[in-house]
Structure 1
Amino acid sequence: MVLKLHFPTETLQDLLNLHTDCEKEAISIFMTHSFKDDTHKFQKELVQILESKKNDFIRQNEEESTKYCQTKLEDLSQTLMEAISQGTFSVPGGYKLYRKEREKIMNNYHQVPRRGIKADEVLQRFLQSLAMTGESILQTDQALTDKEKALEAEQVKREAAEKKKELLEQQQMEMQQNMEAQQRSYEENINQLKKKMEEDRIQILREQEMILDHKLKVYGDWDQWSCLGSKPSTMAGRGWADGQGRQICLHVVNMVESKGKSWLYFHC
C-alpha cells in the first residue's frame, strides 16, 4: 500500500478506498496460503494488523496535510505579516486594505493542489490567529463610522461561525466514512472466510472421492458385499458414493483393510 500511496491524499475517502483494495488483496492471499487455522486465530490477527496499519496511515496522512498546509500559508501570508509589523494598516481605510490582503491569501490558498484533509482546519486556525489583529485594525480605522465597525465585526463573527460549521460537518463526514470502511472490512473478511470454507469443503470431498475410487479399484472385485446389498463399485455407479453412501463405503473398506477379509465374512 505504501508504494501506491502519496501523502497527503485529497480526501479521507481516497485513502480508505485504497486501503479497502489492499486489504481485500491481503486477505485473499492469506486465505489462499493459510492452513490449520480452524479457530481463525491468525485471520483475526491479520485483520487487527490491517486495522492498525489503516489507523497509522490516517494519522500520517493528517500530519502530512497539516504540515504542508501550514508551510503554504506561511509563504502566502508573509507579505501580510510584514505589513502588520510595519503598521501599514494603521491608517484611515487600513481595515479595507487588510481585508483585501486577507482575502487574497485565502483565494491563493484554495488554489494550492493536494492540500489534503486538514486544509480547512489549518486555514481555520490561521484565521483565528489573525482575529485579534483584525479586530484591532478595525477599531482604530478612523475612516469607518461606529455603525460600519459594528457591521464589519458582525460579518467577521458570521464568517468564523460558518467556517466552524463547515469544519464540523467535514469531521462528521470523515467519521461516517471511517465507520463505513470498517463495515466493508468486516463484510469482506466474512465473505473471504465463507469462500475459504466452501473451497475447503469441496477439497475434502474431492480427496474422499479419490480415496474411495482408489479403494474401490482395490477391493471392487470381491464378492463379499452382500451386507451392503451391492458392491461398493456398484453403489458408486448408482450415486451412492455421494453423501452418506460415500461414508458407508469408506467405513466398510477401512474396516476390511484393518481387520482383513474375515471381518467381512463374519459381518456378511
Structure 2
Amino acid sequence: MAMDKPVCLIENTSQDELQVNQEALNILSSIKQPVVVVAIVGMYRTGKSYLMNRLTGKRTGFSLGSTIQSETKGIWMWCVPHPCKNNCTLVLLDTEGLGDVEKGDQTHDTWIFALAVLLSSTFVYNSMGTINNEAVMSLHYVTELTEHIKVKSSREKEEETSSEYVRFFPSFVWAVRDFTLELELNGRTITADEYLENSLKLLKGHSKQIAFSNAPRECIRSYFPSRKCFVFDQPAPKEKLKVIEQLSDADLEPAFVKQTSDFCNYIFNHSKEKTITGGFTVTGTMLGNLAVTYADAIRSGQVPCLENAVLALSQIENSAAVEKSHALYRQLLGERVKLPTETQEELSSVHEGCLKEALQLFMARSFKDKDQLFQKDLMERIKEEYDRKCQENADLSRKHCITLLQQLWESLDQESFMRPGGYADYRVQVDSIIQQYRNAPGKGIQAEYALEIFMKDKNDLGLSILKADKNLTEQQKKLEEEKANAEMARFKAEVARKEQEDMAKRLEDAEKAHRENERQLLEKMEKDQKAAFEEHSRVLDQRLKEQKALMMEGFESKARLMEAQIQSLRSDLAAARSGGGICVLL
C-alpha cells in the first residue's frame, strides 16, 4: 500500500489510553515482506521529525512545527520501499516528544519510549548540544525499561538478566544535534563513536550520586551493545529554522548536509530487518500484530511481556500460515489437474508438486510451532483435500463412463435378438460395444468399475436372450451362461486389481507426503537452529566485550558479576550447537 504521507500508528484515546490506529494496522497488514523499523525518540522540539523526513528523501511529511509546542502526538508511521534492500519495506516511526511541559506525564513518556524500543530494529535517540552528564541523565527512561518490559512470563523481575533483553532490543543510534564542540579527547581527534563510548564510561566511586549517574550508562551499555553516534552542526541560521522544510540543501550548511547524508546512508545500509527471539524475521503484518499486543497489554494495566507477545504472534502467524498454505494447495491442485484423470498416477504426481509448494509456504511463514501442531493440522487438511479430489475424480470418471456406455448401448435393438440364433448376434454386438468403449479416450480411473456395473445391470437381458434362442441346446445354453459368468468374474477381478493398485498408490502418496513433510521440517529446524546459534553467539560476544570493557575501566567486581550470565550463555550456545535435542514429532 503506497503511502504519500505518514499516519498515526499509536494514538491517545479520549480516555488518555494508547491504542493502535486501524488505518495504520491495515497498511501494515498489507505488507507481507520483511520490515526494517527505525524509531526516533528524544525531547520535544529537537528536530526528530526533520531527520525522519530526510530518510524518506522528502522535506515534508512528519510534522515539524516552528514553536515551542510539541507537534507529534503518539507514534506516527511512514512505510516506504527500502532504498537499498529489495523485497523489504522501511518503516519509520516518529514519536511524541519526551518531557513536554504541557503534558507533564512521565509515565506516558516512558510507555512511548518502551513501545519505540519494542517495535524497532534501529532505535535513534535524538538530543541537543552535547553528550554530557545531563544528557545521559535525561535518558532515565532506559533505567525504567525493565519496569515496563518483561521478558519471561514465568519469571520474577529480579531474575531477568540484561542478556535476555539484548535478544529483543534494537541497535542504538545517538544523534546529537546542534553540536558545537571539537571532537577531541586528550589532545587527539576522535570519532563520534569514540565520543559516545567515552561519555558512557562509568564514573568511579560508591556514593549514591555516582550510582544514580551510572545507572543510565550501565543500562545503555547492557541493553544496547550495538551503538553508533552522529553529531550534526546547526543546519541553518536561527531565522531560517522556522521554514527549514522549505529549504533546499543549497540553503543549508554544507557540513550539516554531509552529516545528514552520512546518517541516512548508515541507516539504509546497516539497519537490519526487525527480528524476534530465535532470529525470526518480522513482516509488516507481524509488526502490526506486535503493536496491537503491546498496546493492549499497556491499556489493560499489564507490563508488556516479550515471551507472551511472541507466543501470541506465533499463534496468529501459524494459523494464517495454515490457511494460506491450504488455500495455495487447493488453488494449485485445481489449476494443474483436469478431471477425470486417466490414471491415479497422474493425479498423484500433481498432488505431490502442490503439496511441496504448500509446505514451502508454510515453512517460510510459520515459526515456534511447538510440537508441530499447526503443521499437523495443515497436513490433515491437505490429506482431506486430496481425498476429496480423488473421490471427485472417481465420481466424474464413473459418471462419464456410464454415460458413454449408455450412449453406445442405445444403438442396440434388444427386441431384435429375441429369436433363434439371436444370442450369438447379441454377443457380437456386446463385444463390439465393449471394444468401442475401451478404445474411447478420457474415461478415467473408474473405466473398469463402470463397465462391470453396467454389464452386471445388463446381465439379465443377456440371460433372457439366451433362453429365447431356440437354436441352442440346453447344454450349449449352460456353457454360454458359464461363459457369461466367467466374463463377469473377469470384470470383477480387473476392477479389484485396479482398485488395489489405486489404493496402493494412495498409500504411497501418504508415505511420500509424510517424507516430504519430514524433509522440509528438518530443513526448517536446521535453519532455526542456525539462527538460534547465531543469536546466542551474538549475545555471548556482546557480554564478553562488555565484561572486557569493565575490566579495562577498572570495574573488576562488576565484570565478575557478569560471569554467571556468560556461563549461562555458553551453555545456551552449546545446546544450540548440538541442536537442543531436535526431533521430528510427525
Please indicate the TM-score interval, normalised by the length of the shorter structure. 0.7 to 0.9
Deviation of 1:123 after TM superposition, in Å, equals: 0.5
What's the CA shift for 1:217? 5.0
Structure 1 residues 10-48: Cα deviation after superposition (integer angstroms, max 9, x where no partner): 122221222122112111210111123223221111111
For residue 342 of structure 2, give the secondary structure of its aligned residue in structure 1: coil
Residue 2 (1) aligns with residue 334 (2): yes
2:486 matches 1:158: yes
Cα distance in 2 for residues equivalent to 1:96 and 1:39 = 68
> What SS does the aligned partner of 1:55 have?
helix
Pairwise CA distance, 1:72 = 0.8
1:103 counterpart = 2:431: yes
For residues 167-209 of structure 1, the C-alpha deviation after alignment (integer angstroms, 9 at most, x for no partner) is 1122222222212211221222222221111110101112233
Work out the CA distance in 1 between the residues paired with 2:527 and 2:399. 48
Give the Cα–Cα distance (whole angstroms) in 1 for the partners of residues 338 and 570 of structure 2: 53
AA matched with 1:152: E
Q: Which residue of 1 aligns with 2:459?
A: 131
Task: Give the residue type in structure 1 aligned to 2:473.
Answer: T
Return closer, same or farther for 1:153/1:226 CA change in 2, 3 Å cut-off. same
Unaligned segments of structure 1, at least 5 residues: 228-239, 248-268
User: Does 1:203 pair with 2:531?
Assistant: yes
Task: Return the offset for 1:93.
Answer: 1.4
Residues of 1 paired with 2:481 and 2:492: CA distance?
Answer: 17
Aligned to 2:520: 192
Q: How far, CA to CA, are the matches of 2:341 and 2:469 in structure 1? A: 42
What is the distance in 1 between the residues matched to 2:427 and 2:371?
Answer: 65
- Please give the alpha-carbon distance, in whole angstroms, between the structure 2 residues aligned to 1:243 and 1:147: 93
Residue 60 (structure 2) aligns with = none
TM-score by length of 1: 0.79
Distance 2:572 2:495 in 1: 67
Q: Aligned to 2:370, what secondary structure does the other structure show?
A: coil
Partner of 1:182: 510
Structure 1 Cα separation of the partners of residues 539 and 481 of structure 2: 87
Moved more, 159-168 or 142-151: 142-151
Q: Distance in 1 between matches of 2:457 and 2:441?
A: 23
One-letter identity of the residue aligned with 2:459: A
Q: Which residue of 2 aligns with 1:64?
A: 396
Q: Distance in 2 between matches of 1:246 and 1:159?
A: 72
TM-score (norm 2): 0.37
Between structures 1 and 2, the one with greater helix share: 1
Out of 459, 470, 484, the position equivalent to 1:142 is: 470
Give, in whole Å, the separation in 2 of the partners of 1:183 and 1:122. 29
Distance 1:175 1:15 in 2: 13
Shift of residue 78 of structure 1? 0.6
CA distance in 2, matches of 1:244, 1:199: 20
Helix, strand or coil at the partner of 1:40 = helix
Hey, what's the Cα distance between the residues in 1 that align with 2:511 and 2:419? 58
SS at match of 1:39: helix
Query: Which structure shows the bigger proportion of residues in strand conformation?
Result: 2
Query: Match of 2:420, SS?
Result: coil
Contact 2:452–2:491 (CA<8 Å) still a contact in 1? yes
Task: Give how far 1:243 is off.
Answer: 5.9
User: Is 1:89 aligned with 2:417?
Assistant: yes
Aligned-residue offset at 1:156: 0.7
Summarize the Cα distance change of 1:135–1:246 in structure 2 as closer, same or farther, 3 Å threshold: closer
Q: 1:92–1:225: structure 2 CA closer, same or farther, 3 Å change rule?
A: farther
Corresponding residue number in structure 2 for 1:41: 373
Cross-structure match for 1:15: 347
Pairing partner for 1:25 from 357, 362, 370: 357
> 1:103–1:243: structure 2 CA closer, same or farther, 3 Å change rule?
farther
Alpha-carbon separation, structure 1, partners of 2:570 and 2:541: 14
CA distance in 2, matches of 1:149, 1:36: 74
Structure 1 CA distance, aligned partners of 2:539 and 2:442?
A: 61
One-letter amino acid of the structure 2 residue matched with residue 69 of structure 1: C
Which residue of 2 is the match for residue 231 of structure 1? none
Answer with 103-112 or 164-173: which moved more.
164-173
Corresponding position of 2:445: 117
Secondary structure of the 1:8 match is: coil
- Give the conservation status (yes or no) of the 8 Å contact 2:341–2:444: yes
Structure 1 range deviating more: 207-216 or 66-75: 207-216
The answer (yes or no) to whether the contact 2:339–2:396 under 8 Å persists in 1 is yes
Deviations 1:241-264 (A, max 9, x none): x965967xxxxxxxxxxxxxxxxx
d(CA) in 2 for partners of 1:137, 1:173: 36
Deviation at 1:57, TM superposition (A): 0.4
RMSD (Å), alpha carbons: 2.8
- The percent of aligned pairs where both chains have the same amino acid is 32
SS in 1 for 2:371: coil
Contact 2:348 2:509 in 1 (8 A): yes
Query: RCO (CA 8 Å, sep 6+): is it higher in 1 or 2?
Result: 1
User: What is the aligned length?
Assistant: 235
Cα separation, partners in 2 of 1:110 and 1:245, compared to 1, 3 Å = closer
Q: In 2, Cα distance between the equivalents of 1:3 and 1:110? A: 28
2:533–2:573 Cα contact (<8 Å) kept: no
Query: Is the contact made by 2:540 and 2:570 (CA closer than 8 Å) also made in structure 1?
Result: no
Cα distance change on mapping 1:207 and 1:100 into 2, 3 Å: same
- Give, in angstroms, the shift of residue 218 of structure 1: 5.1
- Hey, what does 2:385 align to over in structure 1? 53
